[in-house]
Structure 1
């Protein structure tokens, strides 16, 4: 259910409050004007802001701030003038202040988040051409799959998109402790069970998700298995069904998958036994983009090259982006970046790879505080490299600005006397 903040006429608020609480929503604040709402967006962390459509509670500044944080705004119009004010600001979700509470609750629970306006920033980028499901894979040896997945989700969310982070590693999840979240109940396993019975709808996705809260970069998290003994819950069909439901609900779904690409059926004569790596194969098949990450040392590169050869037998090479983590001279010698690129080109024909610098101080700060790099070390080189990768490979290219727009405010210089 949603976290709601109000800035409404008292009579309207009294009429709808009890019904929204009874529907399961949480009221985080009852405020007076738009400035009160604006000041409380980061501290209160609402999912939806319900305001009056008049100028005292709805302004361009408030809409901009909510768009940047991925917060929906619903306006209740008490008159035609108020409705025209909200429409003029570009707000799409406007209801009559006298509308049935059931209509408002339906919009709060089932409405699709719509950006209030089309602007020029990252938050207003169109979703056309976006890579909806992103699987993060890497070979054995802790190459940084979980770190990459968490921070890709954070950077996508910071661009104004709705994002889910999924821990689908059948060998034991690490996302929950890395982000300081509870892991008693595996959220993704719950999603898979509900998908298997056809009961995974928007309300259930919201119920079983945990929220990683961050100013302008919050996202939903579906935690992984508490222990590897529960992997039979992640069957191929269930995982595929759960990811399909999330694809409808979110603009981006980032999935941390297991390392093994071994076909389980080759190890057992029981054709009907569950497959431990089924979740990995299902996620790779559903992914629009696969991020293959490996370590920048002789052992890590060898594992990445062997694993990449297996990976492209399952996934079209066009869907795979190669990322090399912890590039450093201490493990590779002089000009480490050139050595990595030469190795990838010579042994795998990979001419385009993303290299991430070794940044132990930033990674340690993120682990220590259970936060993403964006929150724990926003100026770190590692975070900058991940941000650059997201902008260049995962987000759709922004529409080019019209040249005439750059000349706004230009004035002719007075002629010399």
Structure 2
């Protein structure tokens, strides 16, 4: 086993001597800094990289970069202190060793992928998480308790859609909202679906991950100066992001609805590195029952366009969101150009790691596709893209314009809107809840 060692200079010799005493282990290179370590890994050297928290520039992305080259990352500390080990684990390093360990234990930690059994740990229903409200520990329910969620659903049933049952507690889910270029209404759908999920009794976190035109903050009248996802990504890179810190960065925009705003300027996209975004999404599952991701349009793997394969990739944020999602909502526009783009987008999805899509056609109207627009759209998508199930959102410009002007959701400013009714049905479909339409008829969709 070839080791690459990059640790603090004051105790490097002691650690190297200890590692060299382990049978079958060879310290092939002692790297003076992070740049040398990354260069050695890129050149194909080493089986395991041993790093310490005091290595200048070490962050979550550099740990992930080493791992992408097939080199396992193991942490090291001079004295085995809990604080140093915690710092490394927050950067995504699973195993940590120190010179005082027995030889057999060092060999085990170097060989095993997850020697301490901590990788992939997630909050479960019986775990406690940091208090986000100042009233002591709370259960990892990801938001209000089941009782309070049910109470909200019962108290405002008529206004929220006449729920016929209280939602069952399930594992937190990540819903990605994506669609092709041309402004088909991705953010409109994401914001209003998130709002409806909160009104259905599910605590919801809306995350703006659009690296081309983030607009959730403006949509909901959230201060543009709010740090949001960029601050969360930076904290993740530095190993300081935890559930309480994420909650502080995602204020409540409405009861049960938190918002993690996007980057203020599209030029700041390099701040959103894949490893950090993956960590933010994973941690978000502990903050809400449902996490809704508003993604950018492009899924081109722009890494292939760069000579430097470790350079920042603008589309990596969208690709990471799609890969981490449990449900995918694909939004297209109801006009000839929008439908053509939607067909091509659906055809490109099999090459991208993502869950099966739920297709939504937005702004459905006869003026753009002819009489009986729903039937025409359904037939076209079934013929050219094999779409069997379809969600149609009627065009309601007056309601949507009023909501945008007021910085509110359709449920708040136009509760009787036909577009709101369709988006409420979509939200109910995502969580398997029965609702009633505006005409009073019941409708239940099964999640799948």
- The match for 1:394 is 430
Q: Distance in 1 between matches of 2:176 and 2:414?
A: 24
Match of 2:237 among 188, 196, 204: 196
Q: Superposition pairs for residues 143-222 of structure 1, below 5 Å?
A: 143-213=184-254, 217-222=255-260
Unaligned 5+ runs, structure 1: 1-100, 399-417
Q: Once the 2 structures are TM-superposed, how far is the Cα of residue 106 of structure 1 from its aligned partner?
A: 2.8
Q: Distance in 1 between matches of 2:371 and 2:146?
A: 48
Q: Once the 2 structures are TM-superposed, how far is the Cα of residue 331 of structure 1 from its aligned partner?
A: 0.6
Q: Distance in 2 between matches of 1:111 and 1:371?
A: 27
Q: Distance in 1 between matches of 2:423 and 2:205?
A: 18
Q: Once the 2 structures are TM-superposed, how far is the Cα of residue 280 of structure 1 from its aligned partner?
A: 0.2
Match of 2:393 among 356, 370, 373: 356
Q: Once the 2 structures are TM-superposed, how far is the Cα of residue 212 of structure 1 from its aligned partner?
A: 0.8
Which SS does the other structure have where 1:124 is aligned? coil
Query: Structure 1 residue 378 and structure 2 residue 415: aligned?
Result: yes
Give the structure with the larger helix fraction.
1
Query: What do residues 128-178 of structure 1 show as CA deviations (whole Å, max 9, x unaligned)?
Result: 3x6710110011100000000000110000011111111000113101111
C-alpha contact (below 8 Å) 2:202/2:256 kept by paired residues:
no
C-alpha contact (below 8 Å) 1:167/1:173 kept by paired residues:
yes
Q: Distance in 2 between matches of 1:254 and 1:107?
A: 25
- The match for 1:365 is 402
Which SS does the other structure have where 1:230 is aligned? helix
Q: Once the 2 structures are TM-superposed, how far is the Cα of residue 115 of structure 1 from its aligned partner?
A: 2.1
Query: Structure 1 residue 106 and structure 2 residue 136: aligned?
Result: yes
Q: Distance in 2 between matches of 1:289 and 1:183?
A: 28
Q: Superposition pairs for residues 59-138 of structure 1, below 5 Å?
A: 105-107=135-137, 113-116=144-147, 121=154, 122=163, 124-128=166-170, 132-138=173-179
Query: Structure 1 residue 264 and structure 2 residue 295: aligned?
Result: no
Which SS does the other structure have where 2:278 is aligned? helix
Match of 2:317 among 274, 279, 288: 279
Q: Distance in 2 between matches of 1:116 and 1:292?
A: 33
Query: Structure 1 residue 247 and structure 2 residue 289: aligned?
Result: no
Q: Once the 2 structures are TM-superposed, how far is the Cα of residue 315 of structure 1 from its aligned partner?
A: 3.8
TM-score, normalised relative to structure 2: 0.61
Which SS does the other structure have where 2:368 is aligned? helix
Note closer, same or farther for the CA distance 1:319–1:127 as it changes in structure 2 (3 Å cut): farther
TM-score, normalised relative to structure 1: 0.66
- The match for 1:24 is none
Say how many residue pairs are matched.
291
Q: CA RMSD in A?
A: 2.3
- The match for 1:336 is 373
- The match for 2:182 is 141
Q: Distance in 1 between matches of 2:138 and 2:364?
A: 46
- The match for 2:333 is 295
Query: What do residues 22-48 of structure 1 show as CA deviations (whole Å, max 9, x unaligned)?
Result: xxxxxxxxxxxxxxxxxxxxxxxxxxx
Which SS does the other structure have where 1:259 is aligned? coil
C-alpha contact (below 8 Å) 1:131/1:395 kept by paired residues:
no
Q: Once the 2 structures are TM-superposed, how far is the Cα of residue 105 of structure 1 from its aligned partner?
A: 4.2
Q: Distance in 2 between matches of 1:382 and 1:324?
A: 11
Note closer, same or farther for the CA distance 1:111–1:285 as it changes in structure 2 (3 Å cut): closer
C-alpha contact (below 8 Å) 1:131/1:289 kept by paired residues:
no
Q: Distance in 2 between matches of 1:256 and 1:133?
A: 11
Note closer, same or farther for the CA distance 1:380–1:341 as it changes in structure 2 (3 Å cut): same
Q: Distance in 2 between matches of 1:338 and 1:111?
A: 42
Q: Once the 2 structures are TM-superposed, how far is the Cα of residue 255 of structure 1 from its aligned partner?
A: 0.6
C-alpha contact (below 8 Å) 1:296/1:328 kept by paired residues:
yes
Q: Once the 2 structures are TM-superposed, how far is the Cα of residue 397 of structure 1 from its aligned partner?
A: 4.5
